[in-house]
Structure 1
Amino acid sequence: MKLLGKKIRLLRHQKGWSQEDVAKQLDISIPAFSKIETGITDINLSRLEQISALFEMTVVQLLTYNDPEQEIKYASDLEIVTKKLQEREVEVIDLQKKVIELYEEIRNVKTFV
Protein backbone atom coordinates (compact mmCIF):
# COMPACT_ATOMS: atom_id res chain seq x y z
CA MET A 1 0.00 0.00 0.00
CA LYS A 2 2.98 2.33 0.41
CA LEU A 3 3.41 2.41 -3.37
CA LEU A 4 -0.22 3.47 -3.83
CA GLY A 5 0.26 6.17 -1.21
CA LYS A 6 3.29 7.46 -3.09
CA LYS A 7 1.28 7.56 -6.31
CA ILE A 8 -1.48 9.51 -4.58
CA ARG A 9 1.05 11.97 -3.11
CA LEU A 10 2.67 12.42 -6.54
CA LEU A 11 -0.71 13.10 -8.16
CA ARG A 12 -1.61 15.53 -5.38
CA HIS A 13 1.66 17.41 -5.90
CA GLN A 14 1.09 17.51 -9.66
CA LYS A 15 -2.29 19.17 -9.02
CA GLY A 16 -0.69 21.61 -6.58
CA TRP A 17 -3.01 20.52 -3.78
CA SER A 18 -2.18 20.36 -0.10
CA GLN A 19 -3.11 17.41 2.09
CA GLU A 20 -5.76 19.66 3.59
CA ASP A 21 -7.29 20.33 0.15
CA VAL A 22 -7.60 16.62 -0.61
CA ALA A 23 -8.77 15.71 2.89
CA LYS A 24 -11.60 18.25 2.62
CA GLN A 25 -12.66 16.92 -0.78
CA LEU A 26 -12.67 13.36 0.59
CA ASP A 27 -14.44 14.53 3.77
CA ILE A 28 -11.78 13.04 6.05
CA SER A 29 -9.28 14.52 8.49
CA ILE A 30 -5.82 15.63 7.39
CA PRO A 31 -4.14 12.98 9.60
CA ALA A 32 -6.37 10.30 8.05
CA PHE A 33 -5.32 11.38 4.56
CA SER A 34 -1.68 11.57 5.63
CA LYS A 35 -1.92 7.95 6.79
CA ILE A 36 -3.24 7.00 3.34
CA GLU A 37 -0.29 8.69 1.63
CA THR A 38 2.26 7.11 3.93
CA GLY A 39 0.70 3.65 3.58
CA ILE A 40 -0.17 3.34 7.26
CA THR A 41 -3.86 3.01 6.44
CA ASP A 42 -5.13 0.49 3.92
CA ILE A 43 -7.59 1.96 1.45
CA ASN A 44 -10.94 0.26 0.97
CA LEU A 45 -12.58 0.12 -2.45
CA SER A 46 -15.03 2.97 -1.86
CA ARG A 47 -12.20 5.28 -0.71
CA LEU A 48 -10.12 4.18 -3.69
CA GLU A 49 -13.01 5.07 -6.00
CA GLN A 50 -13.32 8.48 -4.30
CA ILE A 51 -9.62 9.19 -4.71
CA SER A 52 -9.51 8.07 -8.34
CA ALA A 53 -12.56 10.24 -9.14
CA LEU A 54 -10.87 13.18 -7.43
CA PHE A 55 -7.90 12.81 -9.77
CA GLU A 56 -10.22 12.18 -12.74
CA MET A 57 -8.95 8.64 -13.23
CA THR A 58 -10.39 5.17 -13.12
CA VAL A 59 -9.37 2.92 -10.24
CA VAL A 60 -7.28 0.88 -12.68
CA GLN A 61 -5.51 4.01 -13.93
CA LEU A 62 -4.76 5.05 -10.36
CA LEU A 63 -3.43 1.62 -9.42
CA THR A 64 -1.24 1.39 -12.52
CA TYR A 65 -0.13 5.04 -12.64
CA ASN A 66 3.60 5.59 -13.01
CA ASP A 67 5.57 8.78 -12.61
CA PRO A 68 6.51 10.01 -16.13
CA GLU A 69 9.94 11.14 -14.85
CA GLN A 70 10.55 7.65 -13.44
CA GLU A 71 9.53 6.08 -16.75
CA ILE A 72 12.05 8.29 -18.56
CA LYS A 73 14.75 7.11 -16.14
CA TYR A 74 13.76 3.46 -16.74
CA ALA A 75 13.87 4.00 -20.50
CA SER A 76 17.32 5.57 -20.20
CA ASP A 77 18.55 2.68 -18.02
CA LEU A 78 17.10 0.21 -20.51
CA GLU A 79 18.97 1.90 -23.37
CA ILE A 80 22.26 1.65 -21.47
CA VAL A 81 21.74 -2.01 -20.62
CA THR A 82 20.70 -2.82 -24.19
CA LYS A 83 23.85 -1.17 -25.55
CA LYS A 84 26.05 -3.09 -23.09
CA LEU A 85 24.32 -6.33 -24.07
CA GLN A 86 24.97 -5.64 -27.76
CA GLU A 87 28.64 -4.97 -26.99
CA ARG A 88 28.89 -8.26 -25.07
CA GLU A 89 27.26 -10.12 -27.97
CA VAL A 90 29.93 -8.75 -30.33
CA GLU A 91 32.64 -9.84 -27.85
CA VAL A 92 31.15 -13.34 -27.65
CA ILE A 93 31.08 -13.64 -31.44
CA ASP A 94 34.72 -12.49 -31.65
CA LEU A 95 35.72 -15.05 -29.02
CA GLN A 96 33.84 -17.78 -30.87
CA LYS A 97 35.75 -16.88 -34.04
CA LYS A 98 39.06 -17.07 -32.17
CA VAL A 99 38.18 -20.49 -30.76
CA ILE A 100 37.36 -21.73 -34.25
CA GLU A 101 40.62 -20.31 -35.61
CA LEU A 102 42.63 -21.94 -32.82
CA TYR A 103 40.87 -25.23 -33.38
CA GLU A 104 41.71 -25.03 -37.08
CA GLU A 105 45.36 -24.28 -36.26
CA ILE A 106 45.56 -27.30 -33.94
CA ARG A 107 43.95 -29.47 -36.58
CA ASN A 108 46.40 -28.28 -39.22
CA VAL A 109 49.39 -28.90 -36.94
CA LYS A 110 48.21 -32.47 -36.26
CA THR A 111 47.86 -33.21 -39.97
CA PHE A 112 51.49 -32.14 -40.59
CA VAL A 113 52.87 -34.35 -37.82
Structure 2
Amino acid sequence: MTTGTKIRLLREQKGWGQDVLAAELGISQPAISKLESDQNKLSWDNAVKLGELFEVDPEYFFETKVFNHNTNTGEGNQVISPQTYHESDIELLKSIYEDHLKTKNELLEERYERIVELKKQVEELKAELANLKKV
Protein backbone atom coordinates (compact mmCIF):
# COMPACT_ATOMS: atom_id res chain seq x y z
CA MET A 1 0.00 0.00 0.00
CA THR A 2 1.43 3.36 -0.94
CA THR A 3 2.02 6.24 1.45
CA GLY A 4 -0.75 8.26 -0.16
CA THR A 5 -3.25 5.42 0.13
CA LYS A 6 -2.41 4.97 3.81
CA ILE A 7 -2.96 8.67 4.46
CA ARG A 8 -6.25 8.71 2.52
CA LEU A 9 -7.64 5.64 4.30
CA LEU A 10 -6.78 7.00 7.75
CA ARG A 11 -8.26 10.40 6.85
CA GLU A 12 -11.47 8.77 5.59
CA GLN A 13 -11.73 6.63 8.74
CA LYS A 14 -11.81 9.87 10.74
CA GLY A 15 -14.45 11.26 8.37
CA TRP A 16 -12.22 14.21 7.51
CA GLY A 17 -12.00 16.01 4.20
CA GLN A 18 -8.66 16.91 2.72
CA ASP A 19 -9.20 20.48 3.94
CA VAL A 20 -9.43 19.33 7.57
CA LEU A 21 -6.23 17.31 7.32
CA ALA A 22 -4.50 20.19 5.57
CA ALA A 23 -5.45 22.53 8.42
CA GLU A 24 -4.18 20.01 11.00
CA LEU A 25 -0.82 19.77 9.21
CA GLY A 26 -0.60 23.47 8.36
CA ILE A 27 -0.35 22.83 4.61
CA SER A 28 -2.66 23.45 1.66
CA GLN A 29 -5.45 21.15 0.49
CA PRO A 30 -3.76 20.71 -2.91
CA ALA A 31 -0.64 19.56 -1.05
CA ILE A 32 -2.73 16.89 0.71
CA SER A 33 -4.17 15.85 -2.64
CA LYS A 34 -0.66 15.45 -4.07
CA LEU A 35 0.44 13.45 -1.02
CA GLU A 36 -2.56 11.12 -1.32
CA SER A 37 -1.97 10.59 -5.04
CA ASP A 38 1.75 10.00 -4.38
CA GLN A 39 2.75 12.97 -6.53
CA ASN A 40 4.68 14.43 -3.57
CA LYS A 41 6.78 12.56 -1.05
CA LEU A 42 5.90 12.75 2.63
CA SER A 43 8.44 14.55 4.82
CA TRP A 44 9.50 13.03 8.12
CA ASP A 45 8.11 16.04 10.01
CA ASN A 46 4.68 15.59 8.43
CA ALA A 47 4.87 11.83 9.05
CA VAL A 48 5.40 12.56 12.74
CA LYS A 49 2.41 14.94 12.76
CA LEU A 50 0.27 12.37 10.92
CA GLY A 51 1.38 9.69 13.35
CA GLU A 52 0.19 11.81 16.25
CA LEU A 53 -3.12 12.65 14.55
CA PHE A 54 -3.90 9.06 13.59
CA GLU A 55 -2.17 7.42 16.56
CA VAL A 56 0.22 5.34 14.46
CA ASP A 57 3.99 5.08 14.25
CA PRO A 58 5.36 7.64 11.73
CA GLU A 59 7.25 4.83 9.99
CA TYR A 60 3.87 3.32 9.05
CA PHE A 61 3.60 5.83 6.22
CA PHE A 62 6.80 4.77 4.49
CA GLU A 63 7.06 1.69 2.30
CA THR A 64 9.18 -1.01 3.84
CA LYS A 65 11.17 -3.17 1.51
CA VAL A 66 12.99 -5.06 4.23
CA PHE A 67 11.12 -7.87 5.88
CA ASN A 68 12.64 -9.39 9.00
CA HIS A 69 11.91 -13.04 8.44
CA ASN A 70 13.40 -15.63 10.74
CA THR A 71 12.78 -19.24 9.98
CA ASN A 72 14.44 -22.45 11.02
CA THR A 73 17.09 -21.70 8.41
CA GLY A 74 18.04 -18.56 10.33
CA GLU A 75 17.72 -16.32 7.29
CA GLY A 76 16.75 -12.75 8.04
CA ASN A 77 16.31 -9.32 6.47
CA GLN A 78 15.01 -10.60 3.17
CA VAL A 79 14.40 -7.90 0.57
CA ILE A 80 10.89 -8.17 -0.84
CA SER A 81 8.92 -6.14 -3.32
CA PRO A 82 6.30 -3.86 -1.82
CA GLN A 83 2.76 -4.92 -2.57
CA THR A 84 0.59 -2.55 -4.56
CA TYR A 85 -3.14 -2.24 -4.11
CA HIS A 86 -5.80 -1.15 -6.56
CA GLU A 87 -9.02 0.72 -5.78
CA SER A 88 -11.00 -2.54 -5.86
CA ASP A 89 -8.61 -3.98 -3.24
CA ILE A 90 -9.17 -0.95 -1.02
CA GLU A 91 -12.93 -1.33 -1.25
CA LEU A 92 -12.60 -5.03 -0.43
CA LEU A 93 -10.39 -4.22 2.57
CA LYS A 94 -12.90 -1.63 3.77
CA SER A 95 -15.70 -4.16 3.43
CA ILE A 96 -13.74 -6.78 5.35
CA TYR A 97 -12.91 -4.24 8.06
CA GLU A 98 -16.59 -3.25 8.40
CA ASP A 99 -17.64 -6.92 8.58
CA HIS A 100 -15.08 -7.57 11.31
CA LEU A 101 -16.23 -4.51 13.22
CA LYS A 102 -19.87 -5.65 12.99
CA THR A 103 -18.93 -9.16 14.15
CA LYS A 104 -16.91 -7.75 17.05
CA ASN A 105 -19.86 -5.63 18.16
CA GLU A 106 -22.23 -8.59 17.92
CA LEU A 107 -19.87 -10.73 20.01
CA LEU A 108 -19.56 -8.00 22.61
CA GLU A 109 -23.34 -7.73 22.83
CA GLU A 110 -23.67 -11.51 23.24
CA ARG A 111 -21.05 -11.50 25.98
CA TYR A 112 -22.78 -8.65 27.75
CA GLU A 113 -26.08 -10.55 27.64
CA ARG A 114 -24.34 -13.67 28.99
CA ILE A 115 -22.82 -11.65 31.83
CA VAL A 116 -26.29 -10.36 32.76
CA GLU A 117 -27.62 -13.94 32.74
CA LEU A 118 -24.76 -15.17 34.91
CA LYS A 119 -25.23 -12.34 37.40
CA LYS A 120 -28.91 -13.25 37.65
CA GLN A 121 -27.98 -16.90 38.26
CA VAL A 122 -25.51 -15.86 40.98
CA GLU A 123 -28.22 -13.85 42.74
CA GLU A 124 -30.65 -16.78 42.50
CA LEU A 125 -28.03 -19.14 43.94
CA LYS A 126 -27.28 -16.72 46.77
CA ALA A 127 -30.98 -16.55 47.60
CA GLU A 128 -31.25 -20.35 47.47
CA LEU A 129 -28.22 -20.70 49.74
CA ALA A 130 -29.69 -18.19 52.20
CA ASN A 131 -32.93 -20.21 52.29
CA LEU A 132 -30.99 -23.44 52.89
CA LYS A 133 -29.09 -21.84 55.78
CA LYS A 134 -32.42 -20.91 57.41
CA VAL A 135 -33.56 -24.52 57.35
- TM-score of the pair, normalised by structure 2: 0.45
Q: Which runs of 5+ in 1 are unaligned?
A: 73-113
8 Å CA contact 2:18, 2:32 repeated in 1: yes
| Aligned residue number for residue 13 of structure 1 | 12
Distance apart, 1:63 and its partner CA: 4.2
1:91-106 matches, within 5 Å, as: none
Q: Paired residues, what number?
A: 70
Structure with the greater alpha carbon radius of gyration: 1
Q: Which structure has the highest helix share of the two?
A: 1
Identity %: 37
Tell me the distance in 2 between the aligned counterparts of 1:6 and 1:30: 16
CA shift digits 1:9-31 (9 cap, x unpaired): 01111110000000000010100
Q: Which runs of 5+ in 2 are unaligned?
A: 64-89, 97-135
| Aligned residue number for residue 37 of structure 2 | 38
- TM-score of the pair, normalised by structure 1: 0.53
Partner AA of 1:22 in structure 2: L
Distance apart, 1:59 and its partner CA: 1.3
Q: Which runs of 4+ in 1 moved over 6 A?
A: none
Tell me the distance in 2 between the aligned counterparts of 1:11 and 1:60: 14
RMSD: 2.8
Q: Which has the higher contact order (CA 8 A, sep 6+)?
A: 1
| Aligned residue number for residue 102 of structure 1 | none
